Structure 1
């Protein structure tokens, strides 16, 4: 019997058809009139994870006489899930906690600024190009989150037998987001948010 030769078929995959990577992202929180350092009014913060970018629309089930075998389904209210951001705790970084304290001042009426504090913020989340093929950063997808504010801050467990880092999580309520994605792969085909 003769030896059979096999040739490897060329892959149909290429950079243009590769999905975007989920590990290269940037978060910017824009706080108007905040108590935070004025040089950080547009905060570009490093987070290790972002979760909760989802929307769900309720289903309203409707029945009427004479149509007893099936139901009619109509869209009801839509709701956006809370967004959770996680990152390591770093010395000198108290902006997240200051944001939560600002919310307390508004709720208690002790703002000291005639109640003009606005604890709501706009947040931009950008998915970056990978691999980086130019010297400039290209945003390939992005979410603009409207009127977000902290509903909780949580710190990781303290454990003298562990070998890890201390984490903090912030959960944000918000009133929805817009989403954009680049129309094609390649340099110069990024997006910008409104």
Structure 2
């Protein structure tokens, strides 16, 4: 397990705009938004037979919410190719897709203002449950055309090998 090093000069939390997403050992181009990492554990209520006035609570199943990645539309086909591993147009009886390699582990890296890796999360066994090739088209708009993938996953954890970077103190 990694040793935690405290950066005595940093009191401010990290910003949410410096991040990168990695899968298959390389960074995914142009990701501009990633939804929150969230897990929820069910509450199981139960009572003891001799105590009719109150119930006890214990943890039940834990669920991990899907993660949505957004980026501007380019010629890069990473989102489309991954989404196509689950379903492709023209699939008919006897021509179904193989689900081999439709899952990926991804890494979400967060950086400090100096561009140093500060925090990372490993997200396990992701697969594309929703793919949007492009957003609505609007002749009156002045915006980037966005595509997104919704990734189901089987859990995530903070990468404890990533230690807090030491930041230079100016002065």
TM-score tier (shorter): 0.7 to 0.9
Q: How many residues align?
A: 155
Q: Deviations over 1:39-89 (max 9, x none)?
A: xxx331131111130110000000122212211001000010000011111
Q: Which residue of 1 aligns with 2:120?
A: 142
Question: What per-residue deviation string (whole Å, max 9, x for no partner) do you get for residues 138-186 of structure 1?
Answer: 3111110111010001231111111111101110001101113655451
SS in 1 for 2:84: helix
Write out aligned runs for 1:1-194 (5 A).
15-30=9-24, 42-45=25-28, 46-90=30-74, 92-104=75-87, 110=95, 115=98, 117-130=100-113, 132=114, 137-154=115-132, 155-180=134-159, 184-187=164-167
SS at match of 2:138: coil
Q: Distance in 2 between matches of 1:158 and 1:116?
A: 32
Change (3 A) 1:74 1:98: same
User: What secondary structure is seen at the aligned counterpart in 1 of 2:31?
Assistant: coil
* Pairwise CA distance, 1:15: 4.9
Give CA-to-partner distance per residue, 1:70-120, whole Å, 9 cap, x none: 110010000100000111111x21121111112226x977478xx483111
Q: Which has the higher contact order (CA 8 A, sep 6+)?
A: 2
Q: Give unpaired runs (5+ residues) of structure 2.
A: 1-7
Scaled by the length of structure 2, the TM-score of the pair is 0.80
Mapped to 1, the partners of 2:158 and 2:79 lie a distance apart of 24
Q: Which one has a larger percent helix, Structure 1 or Structure 2?
A: 1
Look at both structures and tell me which one has the larger radius of gyration over its CA atoms. Answer: 1
Q: Following TM superposition, where does structure 1 have runs of at least 4 consecutive aligned residues deviating by more than 2 angstroms?
A: 107-112, 180-185
Task: Supply the RMSD in Å over aligned alpha carbons.
Answer: 2.5
Shift of the 149–25 alpha-carbon distance from structure 1 to 2, 3 Å rule, reads same
User: Where in structure 1 are there 5+ consecutive unaligned residues?
Assistant: 1-13, 31-41, 189-194
Tell me: CA distance 1:116–1:71, structure 2 relative to 1, closer, same or farther (3 Å).
Answer: closer
